[in-house]
Amino acid sequence: MKALVIGGAGYIGSHMVKTLQRAGHEVAVFDNFSTGHREAIEDVKIYEGDLQAAAEIDPVLSGYRPDLVLHFAARSLVAESMVDPALYHANNTCGVMTLLDGMRRHKLDRLVFSSTAAVYGFPQQRRIDESHPTAPINTYGWSKLFCESMISDYCRAYGLRAAVLRYFNASGADPSGTIGEAHEPETHLIPNVLRAAVGRADKVTVFGKDHDTRDGYCVRDYIHVNDLADAHLLAYDALNRADQPDFQLYNLGNGQGFSVIEVLRAAEAVVGRTIPMELADRRAGDPPVLVAGAGKARSILGWTPKIPELHRIIATAWRWHQEQRY
């Protein structure tokens, strides 16, 4: 199978590239390298370009002619999306439209799209399954929901078959230690905790202990990045199954929530030392609890996370953070 990974130099995209390579597939990456890292991808054909320009993505689609397009190239910071929404609509929303039109023009009909639990907004039930109403509370979530809606329309009207995967909290790193999470600025909890552990930051700031949760700290469902990547390959299989609809939607999470302080304590156990922390106010737009109901991915895709335990997820991230290569 020939795969084109759009945004393949980013955190999740680069793990996808590795997973595809290990499975023996032919892989090419399309990336504008705005936030991704060239060092994160090797032995792969690279097309440098911007998804917002049809003139840049079109020749890649027509020349490489992938069997499957996987789309990871998105802005994904909630706070940034609130102060600069244009960036999110241009990059995420319009980028997808350019891609869909290019795929349509060149008769490419298989897409796996990275979406997010942020489309659900404030959770109305303890575990969020795919039937939970979508009501984003930030521009990032809206930009992804607009994308989902366009993809669903193109499936209905133009013969596209697509799987939308709504990730909960992507985390960890490839167990090889060669690639991992490297955002600048870093806003995610586990890398920030490990940066403090390794001495690249003085301390980790914990946002709020007055949330409506069991211990007052925000609760999230952390899912290993390689388990996410595996789900994309299984989603491709499902796109080729006649008994599955043209437009498919799956939540991806472990179905277990951990509070910020539980993550901190688990990280301390992994690294074998105390990690300095300070308490700060809540971060705007943070829902108190986000935990997946991911039974659909398990039953239809046959997906079983291989690194579901929090301490193992953190251990893979720790290996990366100790010798961060980029």
φ, ψ for residue 186 (rounded to 5)? -90, 130
> From the list 189, 234, 267, 310, which residue makes contact with ligand UDP (rule: CB under 6 A)?
189
* Degrees, nearest 5: CA angle 252-34-59: 85
Does 140 qualify as catalytic in the annotation? yes
The whole-angstrom separation of Cα 34 and Cα 44 is 19
302 Cβ partners below 8 Å, 6+ apart?
234
Report if residue 283 touches ligand UDP, rule: CB under 6 A. yes
User: Which two tokens mark 37?
Assistant: 């890292």
Report if residue 188 touches ligand UDP, rule: CB under 6 A. yes
How many helices (H) does the chain have, and how many strands (E)? 11, 14
CB hemisphere CA count around 3 (13 angstroms)? 29
**Least spacing, CB of residue 78 vs ligand UDP, in Å:** 6
Q: Which of residues 154-173 bind ligand UDP (CB under 6 A)?
A: 169
Pair 326, 39: CB distance under 8 Å: yes
Report if residue 33 touches ligand UDP, rule: CB under 6 A. no
**Least spacing, CB of residue 62 vs ligand UDP, in Å:** 36
Pair 246, 157: CB distance under 8 Å: no
User: Which two tokens mark 204?
Assistant: 């980790």
305 Cβ partners below 8 Å, 6+ apart?
223, 224, 227, 230, 254
The whole-angstrom separation of Cα 315 and Cα 309 is 10
Report if residue 206 touches ligand UDP, rule: CB under 6 A. yes
Contact flags string 226-265 toward ligand UDP, x per CB under 6 A: ----------------------------------x-----
Could you tell me whether strands 258-259 and 219-220 are parallel, antiparallel, or unpaired per DSSP bridges? antiparallel
Residue 268 or 286: the one with the smaller Cβ distance to ligand UDP is 286
The alpha-helical segments, DSSP class H, found in the chain are 11-22, 54-64, 78-83, 85-88, 95-105, 139-158, 189-198, 225-239, 260-271, 295-296, 310-322
> From the list 97, 286, 295, 308, which residue makes contact with ligand UDP (rule: CB under 6 A)?
286
The whole-angstrom separation of Cα 61 and Cα 76 is 25
Report if residue 220 touches ligand UDP, rule: CB under 6 A. yes
> From the list 25, 87, 94, 207, which residue makes contact with ligand UDP (rule: CB under 6 A)?
207
Residue 4 or 260: the one with the smaller Cβ distance to ligand UDP is 260
> From the list 115, 192, 248, 251, which residue makes contact with ligand UDP (rule: CB under 6 A)?
192
Stretch that binds ligand UDP, among 26-34, 38-46, 186-194, 299-307 (CB under 6 A): 186-194
Q: Which of residues 121-160 bind ligand UDP (CB under 6 A)?
A: none
Stretch that binds ligand UDP, among 87-95, 97-105, 124-132, 185-193 (CB under 6 A): 185-193
**Least spacing, CB of residue 263 vs ligand UDP, in Å:** 7
Residue 111 or 267: the one with the smaller Cβ distance to ligand UDP is 267
Residues in contact with ligand UDP by the rule CB under 6 A: 78, 169, 187-189, 192, 204-207, 218, 220, 260, 283, 286
Which residues form the catalytic set? 140
